[in-house]
Amino acid sequence: MKKFILGYLLPRIGQFFMVIFIGVTIVYIIPRLSPSDPIEGQISRMMQGGVNFDKEMVEQFRKSLSVMYGLEGTPMEQYFRFWGQLIRGDLGISLSAFPTPVIDMIRLAMPWTIGLLLSATIISWILGNLFGAYSSYFPNSKFLNVFDVLTQAVRPIPYYILAMLLILLFAWVWPIFPISGAYPMGMIPNWSWQFFWIVLHHSVLPAFSLVLGGIGSWFVGMKSLTSNMISEDYVVYAETAGLKKNKILYSYIIRNALLPQITGLALSLGTIFSGSLILEVIFQYPGLGMLAYRAILQVDYTLIMGISILSIVGIAAASLLLDLVYPLFDPRVRHQ
């Protein structure tokens, strides 16, 4: 146990914190290289909105914003103050939605992104791996051969192009699904089955476009892996011993071929926390991607930094979780 903690666990936890430290530091530095001043931009937006300040009020407001946005003091003092706020879970105040905290805006958008991308990623992963393994082990199946051809045709198409095609087909030609939003405009979100089914109905097109865009990669990867394993000695021996084909497929082939696919799944789940910007903009879906898009248009540095930091932590956490659970799937790692 001591060897496991010192030789396996602690180095990976250290790597986790190192990735977060370097990534957050880069996210902190890049916005400060911009020539624009967020404080002057905020004052300009307020004046354009009809707020009148005299010179003394402008100076006091500028000082207040400097303190609020952590821009007071030397660059090193700002950096350490930034880390102190970040450790406490304070991501600052949004420039575009002043004085709303960034963490509150992310908290409202995150469930929509996680619900959409998590379900689409898992569905495409399961279907892609199952069909890929079956297509390799049962090469004479007509259904799987047709599925293979369709997959190869759809796989090069970007998911946002698929999204627009789906909108054209199922929102204009056959108006079966809504064209945008997560629920009808003016409706108040609530915890009811009626609202759940409405949200599910609105999420079909964006989720389906992600599934169509992602299933091809998993399918091709799994088919390639299982094709190499079919000729392995242990598979040939199992077939000679008279085991059922499904038993051989699930217990011998898929189980071993899934290891690299699990790695890809973990990394894909980590990227969920950055949102799907283009897809959410196309469908006007109220997730992190749409929030990031609005932050970019409104030059909201604090909100952009908050979403970027969340993405870094998500990917680092997914990598750490993968390292911790990987020995459960691969006995060779557990043995070492």
Q: How many domains does the chain have?
A: 2
Q: Indicate which CATH number applies to the domain containing 209.
A: 1.10.3720.10
Tokens of 291: 């929030």
- The CA distance from 163 to 280, in Å, is 10
CA–CA gap between residue 325 and residue 148 (Å, rounded)? 32
| pLDDT of the residue at 336 | 54
* HEC per residue, 14-81: HHHHHHHHHHHHHHHHHHHCCCCCHHHHHHHHHHHCCCCCCHHHHHHHHHHHHHHCCCCCCHHHHHHH
Q: Please check whether residue 219 lies inside any domain of the structure.
A: yes
% of residues, the chain, pLDDT over 70: 85
The Cα–Cα gap between 206 and 178 comes to 10
The pLDDT of residue 51 is: 59
> Cα–chain-centroid distance for residue 146?
31
Residue 95 included in any domain: no
| Whether residue 109 sits in one domain with residue 251 | yes
Q: With 80 as the cut, is the pLDDT of residue 9 above it?
A: no
The answer to whether position 10 is within a domain reads: no
For residue 93, the cross-strand partners are 101
Residues 138 and 221 occupy one common structural domain: yes
At 315 the pLDDT is: 83
Entry pTM: 0.80
Co-location of 63 and 174 in the same domain? no
Per the listing, tokens 């497929």 go with: 249
In a domain, 318, yes or no: yes
Structure tokens at 164: 């627009």
The CA distance from 332 to 336, in Å, is 6
Q: What is the CA radius of gyration of the chain?
A: 25
Task: Compute how many other C-beta atoms are within 10 angstroms of the C-beta atom of residue 178.
Answer: 20
pLDDT of residue 330: 63
Residue 325 has pLDDT above 80, yes or no: no
Residue 294 lies in a domain: yes
Instruction: For residue range 214-261, list pLDDT tens digits in order.
Output: 888 888 888 888 887 887 788 788 878 878 888 888 888 888 888 788
Residues belonging to the chain: 336
139 and 278, same domain (yes or no): yes
Mean pLDDT of 40-67: 67
Q: Which of 244, 257, 259, 255 is nearest to 322 (CA)?
A: 259
**Among 286, 287, 285, 307, residue whose Cα is nearest residue 296:** 307
Please check whether residue 167 is in contact with residue 281, taking contact to mean a CB–CB distance below 8 angstroms.
Answer: no
DSSP string computed for 228-281:
HHTTSHHHHHHHHTT--HHHHIIIIIIHHHHHHHHHHHHHHHHGGGG--HHHHH
At residue 54, the pLDDT reads: 64
Asked whether residue 151 falls in the same domain as residue 228, the answer is yes
Q: Provide the domain limits for residue 130.
A: 102-335
Contact present, 71 and 78 (Cβ < 8 Å): yes
Which of 32, 60, 87 marks a domain boundary?
87
Domain presence at residue 4: no
Within this chain, do residues 76 and 119 fall inside the same structural domain, yes or no?
A: no
Interval 187-213: pLDDT, tens: 887 888 888 898 888 888 888 888 888
Largest CA distance in the chain: 90
Q: What is the mean pLDDT of the segment spanning 317-327? A: 78
**pLDDT digits over 144-171, tens only?**
888 888 888 888 888 888 888 888 888 8
Question: Mean pLDDT of all residues in the chain?
Answer: 81
Give residue 233's pLDDT. Answer: 80
pLDDT of residue 11: 81
Q: Are residues 229 and 307 in the same domain?
A: yes
Winning range, highest mean pLDDT, from 27-36, 59-68, 221-230 = 221-230
164 and 38 together in one domain: no
**Cα 244 to Cα 301: distance, rounded to the nearest angstrom:** 59
Whether 19 maps to a domain, the answer reads no
Residues 151 and 79 in one domain: no
Residue 214 and residue 72 share a domain: no
Residue 335 has pLDDT above 60, yes or no: no
What mean pLDDT comes out for the span 281-291? Answer: 87
1 within domain boundaries? no
